Chains A and B, each alone.
Chain A
Amino acid sequence: MIELKNLSVTLGAAAAVRDASLSIQAGDRLGVVGESGCGKSMLALSMMGMVPDALAVSGQITLNGTAMPPRDETAWRPHRARSMAMIFQEPMAALNPLRRIGDTVMEPMRVHLGLSREDAIKRTLDLFAETGIRDPELRLRQYPHQLSGGQRQRVLIALALACDPALLIADEPTTALDANVSLRITDLLVRLSRQRNMALVLISHDLGAVARATKDILVMYGGDIVERGPTAAVLAHPAHPYTKGLLGARPRIEQAAGKRRHLPTIPGSVPGLFDLPKGCRFSGRCSVEMPHCARSKPENVNTEQGQAACHQLKEGHNGG
Chain B
Amino acid sequence: MRRENLPQMHGAVRMGYFIFRRLVGFVLTLLAVSVVVFLAMNVLPGDPALNILGIESSEDARAALREQLGLDEPAVFRYFQWIFNAVQGDFGVSYSYGVPVSELIVERIPMTLSLAFSGMVLTTVVALVMGITAASHHKKTGDWVVMLLSQLGVAIPAFWLSMLLVLLFAVKLRWLPPGGFAGWDDPLAAMRSLVLPTVSLALVQSAVLARVTRSSALEVIRHDFVRTARASGFSRQRVLWRHVLPNALIPIVTIVGLQFAALVSGTIVIENVFYLPGLGRLIFQSISNRDLFTVQALVMMFAVIVVSANFLVDIAYVLIDPRLKARTE
A-side residues, CB < 8 A to B, are 48, 50, 73, 77-82, 85-86, 88, 90, 93-98, 107-108, 111-112, 137-138, 140-141, 143, 145, 156, 159, 162-163
The answer, among A90, A96, A108, A156, for a CB contact under 8 Å with B243, is A96
Contact across chains for A97 and B227 when beta carbons are under 8 A apart: no
- Tell me how far the C-beta of B259 lies from the nearest C-beta in chain A, rounded to whole angstroms: 23
Q: How many A-B residue pairs have CB under 8 A?
A: 75
Contact across chains for A141 and B8 when beta carbons are under 8 A apart: yes
The answer, among B243, B247, B320, B323, for a CB contact under 8 Å with A145, is B323
Contact across chains for B233 and A93 when beta carbons are under 8 A apart: no
Alpha-carbon separation in the docked complex, A77 to B243 (Å)? 17
23 A-B residue pairs with Cβ-Cβ distance under 8 Å, sorted by A, are: A48-B231, A50-B227, A77-B233, A79-B233, A80-B233, A81-B232, A88-B224, A90-B224, A94-B224, A96-B228, A96-B229, A96-B243, A96-B246, A97-B322, A98-B246, A98-B321, A111-B234, A112-B233, A137-B1, A141-B1, A141-B8, A159-B228, A163-B233
Query: Known contacts A80-B231, A88-B224; is A111 also within 8 Å of B238 by CB?
Result: yes
Q: Which residues of A contact B246 (CB under 8 A)?
A: 96, 98
> Which of B178-218 touch A at CB < 8 Å?
none
Alpha-carbon separation in the docked complex, A88 to B8 (Å)? 30
The answer, among B225, B231, B234, for a CB contact under 8 Å with A97, is B225
Alpha-carbon separation in the docked complex, A112 to B232 (Å)? 9
- Tell me how far the C-beta of B234 lies from the nearest C-beta in chain A, rounded to whole angstroms: 6
- Tell me how far the C-beta of B241 lies from the nearest C-beta in chain A, rounded to whole angstroms: 13
Contact across chains for A94 and B234 when beta carbons are under 8 A apart: no
> Which of B217-266 touch A at CB < 8 Å?
223-225, 227-236, 238, 243, 246-247
Alpha-carbon separation in the docked complex, A272 to B313 (Å)? 47
What are the interface flags for B138-178 relative to A under an 8 Å C-beta threshold, 1 for contact and 0 otherwise?
00000000000000000000000000000000000000000
- Tell me how far the C-beta of A285 lies from the nearest C-beta in chain B, rounded to whole angstroms: 31
- Tell me how far the C-beta of B235 lies from the nearest C-beta in chain A, rounded to whole angstroms: 7
Contact across chains for B230 and A138 when beta carbons are under 8 A apart: no
Contact across chains for A50 and B8 when beta carbons are under 8 A apart: no
Contact across chains for A143 and B233 when beta carbons are under 8 A apart: no
Dominant SS among interface residues on chain B: helix
Contact across chains for A141 and B231 when beta carbons are under 8 A apart: no
Alpha-carbon separation in the docked complex, A95 to B8 (Å)? 21
Contact across chains for A93 and B231 when beta carbons are under 8 A apart: no
Residue in B8, B233, B321 whose Cβ sees the most chain A Cβ within 10 Å = B233
Q: Which residues of A contact B58 (CB under 8 A)?
A: none
Is B88 positioned at the interface, with any CB of A under 8 Å from its CB?
Answer: no
The answer, among A48, A94, A140, for a CB contact under 8 Å with B225, is A94
Contact across chains for A140 and B1 when beta carbons are under 8 A apart: yes
Q: Which residues of B contact A78 (CB under 8 A)?
A: 233
Contact across chains for A50 and B231 when beta carbons are under 8 A apart: yes
B243, closest chain A residue (CB) = A96
Contact across chains for B326 and A145 when beta carbons are under 8 A apart: yes
Contact across chains for A80 and B227 when beta carbons are under 8 A apart: no
- Tell me how far the C-beta of A44 lies from the nearest C-beta in chain B, rounded to whole angstroms: 10
B233, closest chain A residue (CB) = A80
- Tell me how far the C-beta of A176 lies from the nearest C-beta in chain B, rounded to whole angstroms: 11
Smallest CB-CB A-B distances: 8 pairs: A80-B233, A93-B224, A81-B233, A96-B225, A94-B224, A143-B322, A94-B228, A86-B231
- Tell me how far the C-beta of A4 lies from the nearest C-beta in chain B, rounded to whole angstroms: 18
Contact across chains for B5 and A141 when beta carbons are under 8 A apart: yes
Contact across chains for B1 and A88 when beta carbons are under 8 A apart: no
Please give 8 more A-B residue pairs, beta carbons under 8 A apart, in addition to A73-B236, A78-B233, A145-B326: A80-B232, A85-B232, A96-B247, A97-B323, A98-B246, A98-B320, A141-B1, A141-B8
Contact across chains for A82 and B230 when beta carbons are under 8 A apart: no
Alpha-carbon separation in the docked complex, A141 to B11 (Å)? 12
Alpha-carbon separation in the docked complex, A98 to B220 (Å)? 12
Q: Which residues of A contact B5 (CB under 8 A)?
A: 138, 141
Alpha-carbon separation in the docked complex, A90 to B227 (Å)? 12
Contact across chains for B228 and A98 when beta carbons are under 8 A apart: no
- Tell me how far the C-beta of B82 lies from the nearest C-beta in chain A, rounded to whole angstroms: 44
